[in-house]
Structure 1
C-alpha cells in the first residue's frame, strides 16, 4: 500500500490530458468506496491515483494540477519576434510589403481570459486599434487579423497549457500557432507549410 505522499508523486508523473477539461468538481461523498484508483476526465485519459478518502493535501494537489493544465490567462508582450522568418510567412499569406515592414518593429500585447468554455483574446500594438475576439474551443469561426486579413480559425487545447490555433487564409494556406505558457513567458511557434517562426512573449 502506497502512502498518501507517494500516491501524489505517482499521480503527478501520470498527469496528462490531451482533451478539454470543462468541469471537474469533487465532493467527499463522490469518491468511490473500496477503490484506490480514480480515473476521470471528459476525454477519458486524465488519470489520478489517490486513497479513497482524500486529505487536504490531495485536494490541494487536484486544485493545483487542474490550474496547471487548464489556465491560459494573462497579459503578454512580444520581446523576441523572429522577424525574418515571420516576415516570410506573412508574405506567403498575402500581407503587403508596407504592412510587413511596419510589423517588423511592433511589439504587440496579447491578453487572454476565459470563463468556462468561452475564451477572449485582446490584441493591441502601437498605432493599431485594439481588437478583441471571443471563441469556443473546437468551433471554427471567422476572424479579422490585426493586419486586416479575413481568416477562419479553430482553437484547440492540448496538454500542459498548450493552445493550438489553425488559421485558414482566403488563399487556402493554413497558419498554425502553438501557444504555450511557461511561467511568466508565452512561447509561440508559428508554422505555414515549411516556414517556421518562434516568437517569445513576456508576461506584463
Structure 2
C-alpha cells in the first residue's frame, strides 16, 4: 500500500492539552490550534519524504524504514530515531517521550501521538 499523496487535516482531538504536555509555548498553541495543515507524503519502497505545512510552518522529514534518521520535531532540536512498519499500512516511531503511529485507512491518514497517558489524534483526508 502506498502512502503517497496530499492529505488535509479534517479533525484533531486533544491538541492543546497534548502540545502543552510536550512543552509547546502557549502562544504557539493558540496561534496554530485552528489552522488546517497539509501533509504531503512521497513513498518509494522503504523510503519516505514527509512534509507537513501548517500556516507558515513547514516540517520536513525523510526516512527509510528500519534505518536511524534525524527527525525535525514540532519544537526543539532534531531527534534520532528509527521508523518501523507494522503491517502494510502503519508505521511507528518513538521520538523521545512521544510515540507516533501513522496509519493509512482507505482515503484517511490517521496520526496518533502519545505521551504518557495523553493522546493527540489527527485525521486527514486525501486531496
Shorter-chain TM-score tier: 0.7 to 0.9
Which residue of structure 1 aligns with residue 110 of structure 2?
A: 187
How far 1:90 moved relative to its partner? 1.6
Alignment RMSD (CA, Å): 1.7
Out of 125, 128, 150, the residue aligned to residue 54 of structure 2 is 125
Structure 1 runs (4+) deviating above 6 angstroms are: none
The structure richer in strand per residue is: 2
Which runs of 5 or more structure 2 residues have no equivalent in the other structure? Answer: none
TM-score (norm: length of structure 2) = 0.87
Show CA shifts across 1:47-80 (max 9, x none): xxxxxxxxxxxxxxxxxxxxxxx42221111110
User: Are positions 1:148 and 2:71 aligned together?
Assistant: no
The CA distance in 1 between the partners of 2:37 and 2:18, in whole Å, is 17
Report the structure number with the largest CA radius of gyration. Answer: 1
- Between 1 and 2, higher relative CO (CA 8 Å, sep ≥ 6) is seen in 2
Out of 70, 73, 78, the residue aligned to residue 4 of structure 2 is 73
Distance 1:165 1:201, change over 3 A: same
Show CA shifts across 1:86-112 (max 9, x none): 322221221111111112112111111
How far 1:202 moved relative to its partner? 0.7
Out of 14, 17, 25, the residue aligned to residue 96 of structure 1 is 25
The CA distance in 2 between the partners of 1:122 and 1:155, in whole Å, is 16
Give the length in aligned residue pairs. 126
Which residue of structure 2 aligns with residue 114 of structure 1?
A: 43
The structure richer in helix per residue is: 1
